Amino acid sequence: MLGLITYSVILVALAVGTWWRPSIGLAAVLCLYGLKQWGQSTTEFLADYRQITNYAVGVIALIGVALAASRRSCIFCQLPGSVSLIWILYAYAFMSIAWAPDTLGSLQQWGIQGPYIATVVLLAPLLLSTVQDVRTAFLATAITGATICGLALLFGNWGFRGLILYGDVTETETNPLALASMAGTVLVIAGLSLIRPNIVPIRVFALACIPVALAVILKSGSRGQLLASGMGLVAAWPIAVRLKDMRSFGALLVAATLLIGLGWWAYTLVDIDTNRWSSIDSNDAVLGRLALARALLSIAASHPLTMLFGLGNSSAITLLSIYPHITGIEVLAEEGLLGAVIYISIIILTFRSVSRVVRTLGERQRERHAVAMLVGLFVFELVLSWKQGTLLSSVYVFAYSIMLGRIDLQLVEGSTPAEPQLAMSSRLPPFSNLMP
């Protein structure tokens, strides 16, 4: 009963929050997998009907977009170039299933991932319009995600790595990587919230979130999520804190020390499979993924046409009985050089947007901090996509890419000379020239 009550309260709170501020709908999207697994592990109805959470979050996102459209002049006016490339890549990937070895199997993969693509890539970026929207959305995400992590740790029925589906006699576990990814998102947001310009209550809240999120990552044995969150923070901290003097360097050092200390404390709070965290097991996992990627690439390289146009989307599942886990290499093999060029162009455009935004913001610390969160989460998801992703499942990478591009466009348009000209004209005398 506790599971259904908490699940319902979280879902209703997200819906009400989205009605109040549409950007809070992004928190529902970012916590989708965690909320879904909490419901499946505690409630029979949600375990039997696993798509309920998907539909609920999709409706919340759709309502948020509709409300945003009614309150703004045009939500489609700030669409960066990466948007076109992303949808061209998806369109080409869908078209490529025509020559995939198992067209029906590829279509089934699209049927599974299609709703996530629509919700995360199409709707979620439209929920944000300003830098303040980013701050609001990520605060709501931290609150929601940390709550789900805390409930899972305190009351969750854990198996070897994941939560056990409610009433499943075979003790089937939910995907531990999905829950850990939500925890990693919370960790990146909380780690960046330890520093200014955040007020003291938010910093204290961040201190509470960090060990909870880290404990979920460690208990689920998600090595990639731990590494990716660390890389996200390393990429984002220099943006959030400009290292211009000893004071700023000291603030960054204190934040890093707190994070490491809380991480060690979280390590002592949960039971951990030490073998999984050993260097031997980690090396074997990396070598296994590289072997799969090499095998898929060798098949694609066997003919000039497949090198150029690819083997067809989701071919790896047919040819290798498993996906290679490395999105970039999968794109190269399944969508060919043509798809790989589009994919790389999207990433390059995203980092170009980051560079332009950071230069434009200058000393505007609050806005730099919000953008740093976006950058940290983009890097987090990008690293994960090269460890456990496919083109169809790397939805958050593309969503953050679009968000950063929209912020870039907004700041560029806001720095046009229109405002200075208006200000100059407002200082002219309110009467005509009396000189002959």
Residues 6+ apart with CB under 8 A from 271: 219
Length of the chain: 436
Q: What would the pLDDT profile of 358-412 be if each residue is shown by its tens digit?
A: 888 877 888 888 999 999 999 999 999 998 889 999 999 999 999 999 998 888 7
Alpha carbons 300 and 309: distance in angstroms, whole number? 9
pLDDT band for position 434 (50/70/90)? very low
Cα 133 from Cα 124, distance rounded (Å): 12
Burial (0-12, 13-18, 19+ Cβ within 10 Å), 405? buried
| Lowest mean pLDDT segment, chosen from 247-251, 295-299, 361-365, 386-390 | 247-251
Interval 121-156: pLDDT, tens: 999 999 988 888 999 999 999 999 999 999 999 998
pLDDT-wise least confident of 41-50, 83-92, 260-269, 284-293: 260-269
Q: Contact at 8 Å (CB) between 376 and 341?
A: no
CB burial readout 74-107, b (16+ within 10 A) else e: ebeebebebbebbeebbebbeebbeebebeeebb
| pLDDT tens per residue across span 63-72 | 999 998 888 7
What would the mean pLDDT of 248-269 be, rounded to a whole number?
Answer: 71
- pLDDT tens for each residue of 105-120: 999 999 999 999 999 9
Nearest-angstrom CA–CA distance, 18 and 142:
15
* Confidence tier at 251 by pLDDT (50, 70, 90): low
3-state secondary structure of 328: helix
The pLDDT of residue 83 is 92
The mean pLDDT value for 246-260 works out to: 69
Stretch 303-329: mean pLDDT: 90
**pLDDT category of residue 79 using cuts at 50, 70 and 90:** confident
Give the Cβ contact number of residue 333 at 10 Å.
Answer: 28
pLDDT at 435: 36
Q: Which residue has the higher pLDDT, 9 or 169?
A: 9
Question: Three-state SS across 240-303?
Answer: HCCCCCHHHHHHHHHHHHHHHHHHHHHHHHCCCCCCCCCHHHHHHHHHHHHHHHHHHHHHHCCC
Per-residue model confidence (pLDDT) at position 252: 66
> How many C-beta atoms surround the C-beta of residue 69 within 10 A?
14
Instruction: Tokens for 367, please give them.
Output: 């806005």
More confident residue, 428 or 257: 257
Using an 8 Å Cβ cutoff, are 111 and 324 in contact? no
Q: What is the pLDDT of residue 300?
A: 92
Burial class of residue 148 (count of CB atoms within 10 Å of its CB; 0-12, 13-18, 19+): buried
Phi, psi of 79 (to 5 degrees): -110, 115
pLDDT classification of 183: cutoffs 50, 70, 90? very high
With beta carbons less than 8 A apart as the criterion, state whether 225 and 385 touch.
no
> Cβ contacts of residue 279 below 8 Å, gap of 6+?
none
Q: What is the pLDDT of residue 388?
A: 85
pLDDT tens track for 204-214: 999 899 999 99
pLDDT of residue 280 exceeding 90, the answer is no
The per-residue pLDDT for range 332-350, each reduced to its tens digit, is 999 999 999 999 999 999 9
The pLDDT mean for the chain works out to: 86
pLDDT beyond 50 at 201? yes
Q: Which of 51, 50, 57 is nearest to 10 (CA)?
A: 57
Q: State both tokens at 407.
A: 């912020």
Per domain, the residue ranges of the chain are 1-77+128-272, 80-127+278-412
Single-letter code of the amino acid located at 85: L
**Exposure of 298 in the CB half-sphere (CA atoms within 13 A):** 8
Check pLDDT > 90 for residue 281: no
Model pLDDT, residue 323: 81
pLDDT for the residue 322: 83
**Each residue's pLDDT tens digit, 151-182:** 999 998 988 888 999 887 677 888 888 999 99
Look at residues 150, 139, 205, 215 and name the one whose alpha carbon lies nearest to residue 184.
Answer: 215
Confidence (pLDDT) at 436:
36
Contact 372, 192 (CB under 8 A): yes
Taking the CA of residue 278 as centre, how many other CA atoms within 13 Å lie in the half-sphere pointing to its CB?
Answer: 7
Average pLDDT over residues 320-336: 90
Q: What is the pLDDT of residue 331?
A: 95
Q: How confident is the model at residue 246 (pLDDT cuts 50, 70, 90)?
A: low
* Residues 342 and 85 sit within 8 Å (Cβ to Cβ): yes
